[in-house]
Amino acid sequence: MIDVAIIGCGPTGALLGNLLGCRGMRVAIFEKQREVFTLPRAVHFDGEAMRLFQSVGLADALVRATRVNPGMLFKDAGGTTLVDWSRDPKIGPMGWHESYRFNQPDLERHLRVGLGRFRTVTLRTGVAVHDVSQDADGVSVVWEDGGTRARYVVACDGAESTIRRVIGAKLEDLGFQERWLVVDLVLRRERADLGDYSIQFCDADAPSTYVRGVGDRRRWEFRISDADPDEFDAAQIWARLARWITPDDADLERHAVYTFRSRIADHWRSGRVFLAGDAAHQMPPFMGQGMGAGLRDVANLAWKISAVCNGADPFLLDSYQSEREPNARAFIDLSVDLGRLINQTAAGSGPAGQMRSIWPKLGPGVGASGAGVGTLVPQVDRADDRAPNGFYALVRAVAGTELPDVIGGLDWLDTHDIFGAIVRPDGYALASGQDAAEFNSEVERFLPLISTVPDRNFDA
C-alpha cells in the first residue's frame, strides 16, 4: 500500500507530489493526459507561491522562467486609473518578489522534473481515475484497467473533479458567473507601447483585460454575453483586438471561452479522501490567485499527512478545511469585488485608490490562539531553508529551544507584540509567545507534533 495517491498532475498535484516526495512518502500520481498541456492557462503567482516552490528546492530554477510583474492598473472607459495595484520592485516579505508572470507549461515541466528526484514517487500519465472507495485501513483507487491501494487520496483533478462527485461534495455558488474570451498571442515584433503593467479596462459595455506575459507572450481577455458563440474565428478575434494590436504584430497562439465562477465545496474531505485546488474552490481570475489557492491547499495538507503517516494523531487532518477555507474565501471575495469593478464605468471618479497585496489569516486549526497564530510569517534571509523539517523559531533573540533559531522579522514581531513564533512548513505561525518563557513553553507543547514531521531530502 502506498501512502498517498494524487489524482491530477497540474501545478497543485505536482507540487503536492514534490512536497510529499521530499519527506520520503510513497506517492503515486495519476494524470489522465499523457503529456503536459502545451498551451498557456494560468499566468500569475505571488511571492508566497515562490516560497512554496523554494520549500521543495525548485525556486531557483523556476525564477529563470518567470518575469517579475510590476503590478496591475484598473482603468475606466475614459482612461482614468481607478485602482493602482503596483508591486514593490524590491524583494518582499516572503523572501521573493510579490508578483511573477509565468507560462504554465514551463512550470509544470519544472515540477515534473522535480518529481523525478524521488525514488518513492511515481507519475502515471494517460490514467483516468474514475472511482475511489475506502474502508478503515485505506482507499481503493480504480481506473479503467487497474487499481491500487493508498492510505490517503488527494484529488487535484480540477473544477470538474470526478472525485468531488464520488465523495458527494456539493459546490456553493458565491454569486459570480461570467463568460470571457481569453486570447493568447506571441509577438512578432517589439511592442513596448503595450507596457509591462497588466491593465483591467473597467467598462460596463466592454470590460477587458491586458496581461504582459513572459518573453513575447501577451494575453487579452474580453467579457462576452450569453448571446455570443462558444467559438470565435480569427477574424472575430482580431476585430476585438484591433484597438491594441494587429496580425502584423503577433501570432494568435490560442483562444478559448471560459466561464469565470466563484464556487466552494461544502466539504473538502470524506474520511481518507481530500479535495484540493479547483476541485475544492474556484474564483474569477482578476487577482490571479486561482492556482495560488491550490498551492496553499497542498502546502497545508502535505506536512500534516506526512506527520500522520509518521505516527501523529489522525485528528490533525481535521484542521485542513477549517484552516484553509476562510483563507480561500478571502481571495474569492476580493476577486469577485474586483470583477464587479471591472464591469462598471466610472469615468471622472477622481484620484486612484491604492491596492495592496493581502495575506489572509487561516481559520481555526492546529495552533493555539496566541497573537499572530495562523498568519503568514515573513521569511528572513531564506530562513525556511535552515530547518530540516520546515519548523523553526522566528525570534527576537536566541530562544534556546530544540528548534532552529532565526533572529529577525522585528516589524512582524512588533506588529503582534510577541517575542517569537513557531513557523510551520507552509509559512504560517503555529504558536507564539509574548516573552521568551512563554515562547519556550509553547515550543515544548508542540515538540511532540513537530517531531513526527519527517525531514526534507531533495535527492531521495
Distance of CA 377 to the CA centre of its chain: 17
Contact by Cβ (8 Å): 436, 397: yes
Question: Of the candidates 188, 209, 192, which has an alpha carbon nearest to the alpha carbon of residue 251?
Answer: 188
Distance, in Å, from the CA atom of 18 to the CA atom of 13, rounded to the nearest integer, reads 9
List, in sequence order, the alpha helices (H) in 74-230: 104-115, 162-166
Residue 389 has pLDDT above 50, yes or no: yes
Average pLDDT over residues 163-168: 98
Q: What is the pLDDT of residue 345?
A: 58
Per-residue pLDDT band for 291 (boundaries 50, 70, 90) equals very high
Domain boundaries, the chain: 2-69+96-172+262-331, 383-450
Distance, in Å, from the CA atom of 454 to the CA atom of 58, rounded to the nearest integer, reads 19
Average pLDDT over residues 188-202: 96
**Alpha carbons within 13 A on the beta-carbon side of 355:** 18
Average pLDDT over residues 145-160: 96
* Residue 52 DSSP one-character state: H
Q: Specify the residue for cell string 506536512.
A: 303
Q: What is the pLDDT of residue 294?
A: 98
Residue 272 has pLDDT above 90, yes or no: yes
Residue 274, amino acid: F
Distance, in Å, from the CA atom of 399 to the CA atom of 436, rounded to the nearest integer, reads 6
Contact by Cβ (8 Å): 44, 288: yes
Q: What is the mean pLDDT of the chain?
A: 95
Residue 460 has pLDDT above 80, yes or no: no
For 351-363, the pLDDT digits (tens) are 558 888 899 999 9
Distance, in Å, from the CA atom of 389 to the CA atom of 450, rounded to the nearest integer, reads 8
For 168-187, the pLDDT digits (tens) are 999 999 999 999 999 999 99
Residue 21: strand, helix, or coil: helix
Q: What is the pTM of this model?
A: 0.96
Q: Specify the residue for cell string 498568519.
A: 375
For 29-60, the pLDDT digits (tens) are 999 999 998 888 999 999 999 999 999 999 99
Q: In what order do the strands lie in the sheet with 405-407?
A: 405-407, 392-395, 420-423, 429-433
Q: What is the pLDDT of residue 350?
A: 46
CATH of domain 2-69+96-172+262-331: 3.50.50.60
Q: In what order do the strands lie in the sheet with 208-212?
A: 281-282, 250-265, 171-187, 217-224, 208-212, 198-202, 71-76, 81-86, 353-354
Question: Of the candidates 319, 330, 50, 5, which has an alpha carbon nearest to the alpha carbon of residue 163?
Answer: 5
Residue 344 has pLDDT above 80, yes or no: no
Q: What is the pLDDT of residue 299?
A: 98
Distance, in Å, from the CA atom of 339 to the CA atom of 436, rounded to the nearest integer, reads 46
Paired with 451 in beta bridges are none
